[in-house]
Structure formats: C-alpha cells, structure tokens
Structure 1
Amino acid sequence: MSFNLSDPFEACVWAMALCAFWGMMRFGEVSVVSRNTFDKAKHLTQKDAHFGFDLDRKPYAHLDLPSSKTARPGEIQSVFLVPQEDLYPLEALHNLARVVPAGPDDPLFSWRDRCGDIQPMVKSKAINHINSVIIAWGWGATFGHSFRIGGASYYLAQKVDSKIVRITGRWRSLTYEAYICAFEQVASRHLGGLLTQAQ
C-alpha cells in the first residue's frame, strides 16, 4: 500500500505530511478540525504559498502562516521548505496544485470531492489515512505532533545547529529539546539491532 499522487485526497495528504515534517510544522497548521472550520484568516490558503530561488539559484518555498500558536495576533510566521532528495516537499506542493487546481483564497491543503467541490483537509482524516499506509508497512502509527518533532529530530541527527532548528521550527523556547532528550532515552530500544532482525 502506498500513496496514489494522482488522487486528489492522497496528493493532499502527501503534501501535508512532507511540509509538516520538513517544515517542522504543527499538523494543525496544515489541516482543519472540520470542513466547516476553515477560515482564510487563520488557515493556509493558496496565496500563502510562495516559490522562489535563493542566492545559489536553488529552489525553495515559503508558506506564510496567517495564524500560529507561537505568533502574536496579526503576526505572520513563515515556514521555509527546500529540496530534500526523494522526499521533496516542493514537488509535493507542485503536484498538489496540478491535481487540485484551486483559487487564491481556497485552502492550500485541499482536495476535490466526488462532486468536484474543493474541501479543506480535515486533520483526523489525514492522520487516519497516513496511519493506514504506515501500519500496512509495519511501521506503527503516527500522531499529528510526530511530524514536527520528527523533522527536528532528523535535522539534529544530521548535525544541523540546534539554534537553526529552533529558529526554523519557530520555537520561542528550548521546549523541543525536552522531546529530543526523552527520545534519546528510548532510542536504542526502537532503533538498535535492525540489521540482526532483518536477517
């Protein structure tokens, strides 16, 4: 079982997952609680996604969050996304735009239902779909916050400066370090001996 990236629903979930992980975003920042709760003043819309090239002519995207848990009222926080080899968040966003054409005020992470209407992605539906895929692969289950902490953990494991991780992940404190420290205590139980198990 895997994602069908030509399917509007699955293309949306795939883009959400990659952006949440690589952008160290809260899953609530890429989804809504229910279809009726979408509010363009609070949730990402198509016009909040911007693409460009940096000084080295490398592509990047930034998503301007109209509202965030750590933002002051009216403050816009930006999430920066860059190419990441095979799990490429920019390509996932471009694919989503091809599969689900939408207007500037429509939800960024949206899909078209059977009637052709654009629907914002509901958090519980996205998480359930992701879990159906990863459980089928024997990888356990995930939760909304797994993407934010997973992205931070990955960057730190790759020796990215912790200050860069904190700033990029928009943490105002060192709270994220508590997750990393807690994970270190159980890492060997979950990550050790994999080659032996595979034989």
Structure 2
Amino acid sequence: MNPSPLRPGCPAGQRIFQWTGINIPPPSVIDNPVIRLLSNFTSEHSLCDTKRYGAGLRKFHIFCDIFSISEAERLPASFAVLHSFAFLTQGVPFEPVAVGTVRAYLAGIRAWHFAQGWPDPLSNGDHERINFSLRGLLNVCGHRKKPVRPPITTGMLWALKHSLVMSDPFDACIWAIATSAFWGMMRFGEVSFKSRSDFDPSRHLRRCDTIFGKDLDRVEYVRLDMHEAKTARNGEIQNIFLTGGGGLSAIEALRNLAEVVPAGPSDPLFSWRDRMGSVRPMVKSKALERINGILSEWGWGTAFGHSFRIGGASYYLAQKVDPEIVRLAGRWKSMAYETYIRAFEQIASRHLGPATQAANEQSSSTRVG
C-alpha cells in the first residue's frame, strides 16, 4: 500500500477512526462541542470487531492504489468502486479470500464511512447487486482447488527491472520471462520448465522461434512461434506477439537475453548460462523464487506464474484495448479465433502498441521507489 499522511501507522482496529480522506463530510450533528464529543465517543464504541474491519480497509486502499483510484474517490466511495472492489479483492495482493470475507471487508468500508461522518455508501439496491455478483463469484470460485491469482502490475515490473542485474545471465533470463509473460499474456509454463530435463525442442520455445519483424505501420514487433500450447490442436503453431512496452519492453529484454546469454538456434529461448558455460533452461520454481524475493523486498507478497498472464490482460483492458483483441493476443479460445488471427500479425502495433507505449509514458506515476 502506498504511504500517505491520510493513513498514519496505527493498530488495525483504529484504522477506521484514524484513516481519513480529503473530502469534508456533511455535518451529522449540530454544531455543538459537547454533541460532537458524544458523537465521536459513541462512534468509537459502537463496533466490536474493528481489527477485522481494519484489514478490509487496508485491502481497499491496496486495490485503489493498483487501479489508480484517486483519494477523492475513496471517501466517499461510489457504488462502481465498491462493486469493483468486491470482484477484485480475491485478485488484489496478496491473500486470496473467501466470499464471506469479501462481505466483511465491505462492512468495514461501510463502518469507515460512518466513523468519518459519511452516510452509507451503498443503498439497499446496491447491496443486492453486489450480493448478486458475489453469488456468481462463489459459483465460479467456490470449488476451485487453486486460489484466484493476484495480477502482476507495471509497478511490480518496474521493481523487478530496478532490482535485476541485466548483465547477469540468470537475471537477464528472468527479465525476458517477466516481460514476455506479461505483454504476451503467456502461461508461465510456456516461458519456464518444471526441471532442467523437461525441455523438449519439439514442443518448447527455442531461440530460432523468435522472429523480429515490422508490421504494416513499420512498427517493430516480435513473434514467438509456439509448437505446443494448451489451446492448440496437434501440430498447430500458435503465435505470441510482443510490441512496444517502452522501458518495460519485452523486445529489448529478448535482445538483451540474446546478447548476455548466447545460445544455439535449438537451445531453449528462456535459458541462461551457468559458471561452467552450460546453457540451462529456466526452471519455474527458481524463476518464481527470484521474482518473489524481489517483490517481497519492495513490500509486495507472493506472485504466481499465472499472475503475469492475468496482469497483462488486466493492463490492456484498463487501457481500453478491445476485449476481442486481448482474447486473440492471449490465445483464449472462441469461434472467431480462426477468422481473425491470420490478419492480426500485420496490425498488432495498432492495437497493442498504444497500450504498451502508455506503460512507458506513465512510468513516473507507476514506477515504485
């Protein structure tokens, strides 16, 4: 959570009383010091489980930081903001939670409004609409064996870039993996391996599967040719397109990897050289260990492999990229896939370029540290 004088350090149970907003609430009692004192006193003693409410309030501000919700929009919070928070609580760093906990978090935000002198932010109809959504969320996620994955954000990518040593073979590979998985919305199993012996040149990305080109607008892109993918038919090659990205460019990360870790055309694309000079495929557990070690140092929690795919898609959608284009680029299945994919390579930068360029232009606001 970003530091702010509006949110001083205090016990979790005191957050709804000590964390404030920039807006001035309407008067809730008459302008009399005794009445105001009684109002504040009764407010602080009207709740029992304020510690749990404090945890929910912290989650809410983390959500607002990630999605650039201004301070003015946090207190009072609109239905749209709180409805979105109800969906994304399970995807906001760092602990996926149950639907019942989401409801408790919303109750904490409601109590925060009361404690700060604001009316109930949600009407009865608003509560019904959110409960309707939460029932759907429970139906979808209630029996999942794995928790919903938190997304990687551009701020996290900046933290990784700041901390990784780009001249180090291992770190150069980590950076190429992180940017490719994010901008290409790739599954982590497509950029890493279960073990050193897991690499199969007939199935996995090799150095020769990286094609640099320019589209019809003369904008550079990289195409990765996947010979085996989760959503591909037998023998079908799927394409991943990487464009732009500014200071977080996957294209530049792949160029750096090729320079720092020279390898043969049939060697793994995402590989590094050990001290003996041997080319080694990047093992998933080692990659996530390095990534999470850095994110923890910067105050974030655990990311998962799928967090990059989710983060890339979330970023594109937040930049108003057409959802159909995101689906195509991320290789999600649908009836329209075969119709559009043939033309996509020639116009990739028109759709993905503006969004990846925005990551660089907004670096001053998204960069951490």
TM-score range, shorter chain: 0.7 to 0.9
Counterpart of 1:86 in 2: which secondary structure? helix
The reply on whether 1:73 has 2:234 as its aligned counterpart is: yes
The reply on whether 1:27 has 2:27 as its aligned counterpart is: no
The reply on whether 1:153 has 2:314 as its aligned counterpart is: yes
Aligned residues: 174
Kindly provide the CA deviation profile for residues 2-40 of structure 1, in whole angstroms up to 9, marking residues without a partner as x. Answer: 000000000001000100000000000011110011001
In structure 2, C-alpha distance between the alignment counterparts of 1:88 and 1:118, rounded to whole Å = 24
> Shift of residue 92 of structure 1?
0.1
The one-letter code sitting in structure 2 at the alignment partner of 1:5 is: M
> Shift of residue 76 of structure 1?
0.5
> Shift of residue 101 of structure 1?
0.5
The one-letter code sitting in structure 1 at the alignment partner of 2:208 is: K
The one-letter code sitting in structure 2 at the alignment partner of 1:54 is: D
1:103 maps to what in 2? 264
In structure 2, C-alpha distance between the alignment counterparts of 1:70 and 1:108, rounded to whole Å = 21
Greater CA radius of gyration, 1 or 2?
Answer: 2
1:89-100 pair list within 5 angstroms: 89-100=250-261
In structure 2, C-alpha distance between the alignment counterparts of 1:165 and 1:83, rounded to whole Å = 15
Q: Which of 51, 61, 74 is 2:212 aligned to?
A: 51
1:196 maps to what in 2? none
In structure 1, C-alpha distance between the alignment counterparts of 2:259 and 2:247, rounded to whole Å = 19
Query: Which structure has greater strand proportion?
Result: 1
Identity of aligned residues (%): 63
In structure 2, C-alpha distance between the alignment counterparts of 1:84 and 1:114, rounded to whole Å = 31
2:279 maps to what in 1? 118
Q: Which of 321, 325, 333 is 1:172 aligned to?
A: 333
Counterpart of 2:289 in 1: which secondary structure? helix
The reply on whether 1:15 has 2:176 as its aligned counterpart is: yes
1:132 maps to what in 2? 293
- Structure 2 residue runs of 5 or longer lacking an equivalent are 1-161, 336-369
The one-letter code sitting in structure 2 at the alignment partner of 1:25 is: M
Kindly provide the CA deviation profile for residues 70-129 of structure 1, in whole angstroms up to 9, marking residues without a partner as x. Answer: 000111000000011110100000000000001000000000011100000001100110
Counterpart of 2:246 in 1: which secondary structure? coil
In structure 2, C-alpha distance between the alignment counterparts of 1:52 and 1:133, rounded to whole Å = 33
1:193 maps to what in 2? none
In structure 2, C-alpha distance between the alignment counterparts of 1:86 and 1:140, rounded to whole Å = 24
1:36 maps to what in 2? 197
2:166 maps to what in 1? 5
Kindly provide the CA deviation profile for residues 121-145 of structure 1, in whole angstroms up to 9, marking residues without a partner as x. Answer: 0011001100011110012221000
Counterpart of 1:62 in 2: which secondary structure? strand
2:349 maps to what in 1? none
In structure 1, C-alpha distance between the alignment counterparts of 2:169 and 2:297, rounded to whole Å = 21
Counterpart of 2:303 in 1: which secondary structure? coil
Counterpart of 1:78 in 2: which secondary structure? strand
Counterpart of 1:81 in 2: which secondary structure? strand
> Shift of residue 173 of structure 1?
4.7
1:85 maps to what in 2? 246
TM-score, length basis structure 1: 0.85
In structure 2, C-alpha distance between the alignment counterparts of 1:102 and 1:116, rounded to whole Å = 10
Query: Which structure has greater helix proportion?
Result: 2
In structure 2, C-alpha distance between the alignment counterparts of 1:66 and 1:127, rounded to whole Å = 24
Counterpart of 1:80 in 2: which secondary structure? strand
Greater RCO structure (CA 8 Å; 6+ sep): 1
The one-letter code sitting in structure 2 at the alignment partner of 1:139 is: W
TM-score, length basis structure 2: 0.46
